[in-house]
Amino acid sequence: MVKFINVSKRYPNGVLALSSVNLTIEKGEFVFIVGSSGAGKSTLVKLLLKEIEPTEGEIIVGEYNLNKLSKREIPYYRRKIGIVFQDFRLLPNKTVYENVEFAMQITGAPSKLIRRQVPFVLSLVGLAHKAKCYPHELSGGEQQRVALARAIVNKPSLLVADEPTGNLDPDTSWEIMRLLEDINKRGTTVLVATHAKEIVDSMRKRVVAIDNGRIVKDQPKGVYSYET
């Protein structure tokens, strides 16, 4: 599903953010990417979304070789991936329903399918009763659940979450991680970059640790780290 082959990224200021990263993620996996601030996690996510280019190496996602993707193809490529950020990024002037609906409309989905699919994903994240609310009327956890609904509404085969619980309290963080686990069990490959040590330690998923731009650990049913 995802393959990083000898990928390095050096920013124009000279910082080597990733160094010879090799990583293979199979279809259906749930993977945590962990590491301290500055380790290179966001760089890895940005490369995956083709927001930045690798200095060296190749990145393959599904049937796409990102090096060979043309500018014109990038928007279509990104629509095939579900993305969730720390700061939710909902449209403030649209309701919960409309935020999710909009993500489907831009793909040209038929309205009959939209009318069926939007309520389905909203109930999947437990927010059917908040469909008419605006983002500012929701808690942080609820906003993130809307973002999750929006990320999965087009049935992506890969869902990428960059610090999805970074702005949430511990209980709410757990709810979001459980939802990510549910989504994974329904067949979506899930990649979560996170600092949430306690959650990573108890979920026992695959853990890939990055330190200083290098993969320093890759364990099935892993933990955040051996220290502390």
Query: What residue ranges bind ligand ADP (CB under 6 A)?
Result: 11, 13, 15, 17, 35, 37-43, 116-117, 120-121, 152, 155, 183, 186
Q: How far is the CB of 43 from ligand ADP (least distance, A)?
A: 3
Residue 134 or 154: the one with the smaller Cβ distance to ligand ADP is 154
Q: How far is the CB of 4 from ligand ADP (least distance, A)?
A: 14
Residue 111 or 139: the one with the smaller Cβ distance to ligand ADP is 111
Q: How far is the CB of 137 from ligand ADP (least distance, A)?
A: 25
Residue with tokens 């908040």: 130
Residue 140 or 166: the one with the smaller Cβ distance to ligand ADP is 166
User: Where would I find the H helices in the chain?
Assistant: 41-48, 74-79, 96-105, 111-124, 140-152, 170-185, 197-203
| Residue 166 CB neighbours (<10 A) | 15
Rounded Cα gap, residues 175 and 181, in angstroms: 10
Tell me the pairing of strands 81-85 and 158-162: parallel
Residue 117 or 189: the one with the smaller Cβ distance to ligand ADP is 117
Q: How far is the CB of 143 from ligand ADP (least distance, A)?
A: 19
CA torsion, points 162, 166, 172, 177, in degrees to nearest 10?
Answer: 30
Q: How far is the CB of 11 from ligand ADP (least distance, A)?
A: 3
Q: How far is the CB of 102 from ligand ADP (least distance, A)?
A: 16
